Amino acid sequence: MPVPIPRQRAIPAAEGGQAHAAPPHDTTAPPLGGPRVNGFSSTTGASTDTGADTGTDAGTATGGNGSGLTLLVIEDDPAGSLSVPELLDSAGKPIRIRTARNLTEAERLLTDDVHCILLDLALPAPGTTEGDEDELVALKHVLRLAPRHAVLALTANDDSERGAEAVRVGAQDYLFRDELDGRLLSRAIRYAVERKRADAAQRQLTESRLRAQENARLERGLLPTPLLEGSPLRFAARYRPGRSRALLGGDFYDTVRTPDGAVHVMIGDVCGHGPDEAALGVELRIAWRALTFAGLCGDELLSTLQKVLEHERADDEIFATLCTVDIAPDGRRAGLCLAGHPAPLIAREGRLAELLPYEDGGPALGLLPRARWPRRQVELGGKWSLMLYTDGLIEGRIGQGNRRLGQEGMVDMVRRQIASGLQGDELLEAAVNEVRDLNGGDLTDDVAVLLLDRTPGAR
């Protein structure tokens, strides 16, 4: 004989289609004068989702708008030993009761508006037979079925050890069958729901802390402390993640001074955002530092970095842009290599800030298997400031339209800021803030920007 499926008498929209009309589960007169629900009997204080149609609107018990609590009872006791005269939530509103005689039926009735589950631990789980060693198999099944719901375990009075084990497995609390009353159950339901919410909040907090720790580790890998001991050059940098970024993106940079007195600086950007791209950026930055100390530069260095990228990337379509500058020990000349990256900006003494030449640049790393990256000699002069940046600095919008700041807009902005006397950290901070303001809020892409200054005679 098929198991009857209970039906709420006046079905709210959230429950429509979840239950169907069926004969009442128990036509025996309830012990306390209320309609019986699978062994539960209740007075008018608690609305019940049953197959019996008594003309009472269960939806009106919670105002018909989804407020109040709903309890799903999973229990098949035919003797009706559970008698609950009244269930009220903390606001004094009746708690709705929905019942299921087995776990298969419970799965049909477990909708989002259910707040708590009361499970009889004696209930057999699907696929189990009498004598199975695991006495909590039904509870484990429910916890897998409803990971976001509060669960109360119901056990016999002489089986407190089983109840305690149920809590260790994942239930919010356990109750003794013979001591159950409306006041106790109402309080237990409210406690279980609030404890589940607190557990969820604590889990989210823990996840946020883990993300913050991962973010910090990635930041240390992507944005390291420069190794410039003994160099007269001054270094400054800023990094700002894009909007709604849970993790850093693929922007990275580094600056080192080799034993011959030359200063090497680079900045790059792995396409995409997230932990995989950030991890690849860390690998490329560390590889660049190791290859630079080994004496590689220009095309030889970039070709080797491309091999690293090709072996480490998760997808063949992932690429990275890169800009490298190696400054001679006297600080007056530099070699420039561009791999699909925007050219740096230089501000020389007595001249307007301008972009370094970019006509001889090569493709981004990872696009062409046998690409070449020519190294171009650049005269820097005696006193200068060199700014390297990722495309997040120039791709922000201007105003309400689709117009972007672009490199020309960035050059004009930096010229104006230098003319006002800004330099070093103050210049970078002003540039990043103005780009954000022009965009009307946080930028979509990450922004990394660094500045090297040479001022002869200054400490």
Q: How confident is the model at residue 277 (pLDDT cuts 50, 70, 90)?
A: confident
Q: How confident is the model at residue 97 (pLDDT cuts 50, 70, 90)?
A: confident
Alpha carbon 413 to its chain's center: 35
pLDDT at 321 over 80: yes
Q: Which two tokens stand for residue 137?
A: 């198999």
Other Cβ atoms within 10 Å of 16 Cβ, number: 10
The Cα 76–Cα 122 span in angstroms is 9
More confident residue, 79 or 159: 159
Please answer whether residues 352 and 346 qualify as being in contact, where contact means their C-beta atoms are separated by less than 8 angstroms: no
| Largest CA-CA distance found in the chain, in angstroms, rounded | 101
Please answer whether residues 373 and 301 qualify as being in contact, where contact means their C-beta atoms are separated by less than 8 angstroms: no
Q: Are strands 70-74 and 116-120 parallel, antiparallel or unpaired?
A: parallel
What's the pLDDT tens digit per position in 230-244? 999 999 999 887 765
pTM over 0.75: no
pLDDT at 66 over 60: no
What's the pLDDT tens digit per position in 303-320? 999 999 999 998 999 999
248 Cβ partners below 8 Å, 6+ apart?
Answer: 215, 218, 219, 222, 241, 278, 446
Burial class of residue 25 (count of CB atoms within 10 Å of its CB; 0-12, 13-18, 19+): buried
The Cα 226–Cα 256 span in angstroms is 6
More confident residue, 324 or 274: 324
Q: How confident is the model at residue 459 (pLDDT cuts 50, 70, 90)?
A: low
What's the pLDDT tens digit per position in 159-177? 888 899 999 999 999 998 8
Other Cβ atoms within 10 Å of 224 Cβ, number: 18
What's the pLDDT tens digit per position in 241-272? 776 554 567 899 999 999 999 999 999 999 98
Please answer whether residues 278 and 218 qualify as being in contact, where contact means their C-beta atoms are separated by less than 8 angstroms: yes
More confident residue, 336 or 195: 336
**Measuring CA to CA, which residue among 167, 135, 134, 168 is closest to residue 152?**
167
What's the pLDDT tens digit per position in 6-39? 333 333 333 333 333 333 333 333 333 333 434 4
What is the per-residue burial (b if ≥16 Cβ within 10 Å, else e) of 243-282? eebebbbbbbbbbbbbeeebbbbbbbbbbbbeebbbbbbb
More confident residue, 301 or 219: 301
Other Cβ atoms within 10 Å of 87 Cβ, number: 24
Please answer whether residues 281 and 251 qualify as being in contact, where contact means their C-beta atoms are separated by less than 8 angstroms: yes
pLDDT at 56 over 50: no
What confidence score (pLDDT) does residue 238 get?
A: 93
More confident residue, 95 or 243: 95
The Cα 267–Cα 449 span in angstroms is 8
More confident residue, 151 or 223: 151
Q: What is the mean pLDDT of residues 40-57?
A: 40
Q: How confident is the model at residue 353 (pLDDT cuts 50, 70, 90)?
A: very high
Q: Which two tokens stand for residue 359?
A: 């006509």
Q: How confident is the model at residue 289 (pLDDT cuts 50, 70, 90)?
A: very high
- The mean predicted confidence, pLDDT, of the chain is 80
Please answer whether residues 103 and 125 qualify as being in contact, where contact means their C-beta atoms are separated by less than 8 angstroms: yes
What confidence score (pLDDT) does residue 409 get?
A: 96
What confidence score (pLDDT) does residue 243 get?
A: 61
CA separation (Å) from 322 to 130, 272, 325, 372? 67, 15, 10, 13
Q: How confident is the model at residue 83 (pLDDT cuts 50, 70, 90)?
A: low
Tell me how many degrees the CA angle 189-193-195 measures, rounded to the nearest 5: 115
- For residue 336, the SS3 value is strand
3-state secondary structure 424-457: HHHHHHHHHHHHHHHHCCCCCCCEEEEEEEECCC
Tokens 């944005």 locate to 223
The Cα 211–Cα 249 span in angstroms is 13
The Cα 11–Cα 320 span in angstroms is 56
pLDDT at 60 over 60: no
pLDDT at 85 over 70: no
For residue 287, give the amino acid letter: A
What confidence score (pLDDT) does residue 152 get?
A: 92
Q: How confident is the model at residue 57 (pLDDT cuts 50, 70, 90)?
A: very low
